[in-house]
């Protein structure tokens, strides 16, 4: 229903109840202004509102803490380019890191669990890949460490991270492992992204306690 049709109906209603409006000192122009406001709200494109929501979600507190940090994202073995691009975007948006995509690394035989060509021993893998440069390795193989299958693996304050390039949990895994890289341990708050086995409760963000710890860790790094 366009604006003029609505206006006609409102005016028709106004003249029908003119005496009532006069008795209660209601101005007909006020009603017309209300109609204009409603029309503007109805014509607001859903895509605009969705873009504003997404923009708000992407503005994370941690992005201001680490805006001068940089990290390299690399494929370990054959990995879709889209997984690397997605990882880059996630880290940049959430943490504010400056990210670049580096050259792919080869999966060496000793990185696999004995007798398997599809399961990587994440602990051995990180030992072999450790360097002074901060790097995230994206892999399309299953990861195994500490007696269990994992989505990602990183040492506390370690420079090297390894993450499975599975889109359904890529964002949560990257942020979780980056938390370890920055100095966070696992969290007992089930809504925190640093908790484990918490898919049902995961908020997709750090809890307040972990945010405060990140702030303290950042200050310690800047002012040792």
With tokens 């049709």, the residue in question is 5
How many whole angstroms separate alpha carbon 173 and alpha carbon 127?
Answer: 20
Q: Are 211 and 130 in contact (CB under 8 A)?
A: no
Band of residue 114 on the pLDDT scale cut at 50, 70, 90:
confident
Amino acid 35: pLDDT = 46
pLDDT in tens, 47-82: 444 554 444 444 455 555 666 789 999 999 999 999
Question: Going by DSSP bridges, is the β-strand pair 135-139/119-121 parallel, antiparallel, or unpaired?
Answer: unpaired
Residue 202 φ/ψ, nearest 5 degrees: -60, 125
Task: State yes or no: pLDDT of 119 exceeds 90.
Answer: yes
pLDDT score recorded for residue 38: 47
Residue 109 CB coordination number (10 Å) = 7
């Amino acid at each position: 229903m366009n604006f003029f049709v609505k206006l006609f109906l409102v005016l028709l209603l106004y003249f029908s109840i003119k005496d009532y409006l006069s008795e209660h000192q209601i101005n007909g122009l006020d009603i017309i202004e209300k109609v204009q406001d409603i029309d503007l709200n109805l014509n607001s494109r859903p895509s605009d509102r969705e873009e504003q929501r997404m923009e708000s979600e992407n503005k994370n507190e941690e992005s201001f803490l680490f805006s001068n940090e940089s990290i390299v994202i690399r494929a370990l073995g054959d990995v879709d380019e889209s997984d690397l691009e997605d990882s880059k975007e996630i880290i940049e948006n959430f943490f504010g890191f400056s990210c670049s995509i580096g050259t792919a690394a080869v999966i060496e035989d000793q990185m696999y669990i004995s007798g398997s060509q599809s399961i990587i021993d994440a602990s051995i893998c990180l030992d072999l890949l450790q360097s002074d440069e901060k790097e995230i390795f994206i892999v399309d193989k299953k990861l195994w460490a500490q007696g269990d299958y994992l989505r990602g693996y990183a040492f506390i304050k370690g420079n090297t991270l390894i993450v499975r390039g599975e889109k359904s949990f890529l964002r949560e895994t990257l942020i979780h492992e980056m938390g370890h890289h920055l100095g966070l341990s696992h969290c007992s708050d089930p809504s925190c992204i640093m908790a484990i086995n918490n898919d049902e409760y995961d908020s997709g963000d750090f809890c307040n306690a972990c945010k405060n710890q990140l702030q303290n860790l950042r200050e310690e790094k800047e002012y040792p």
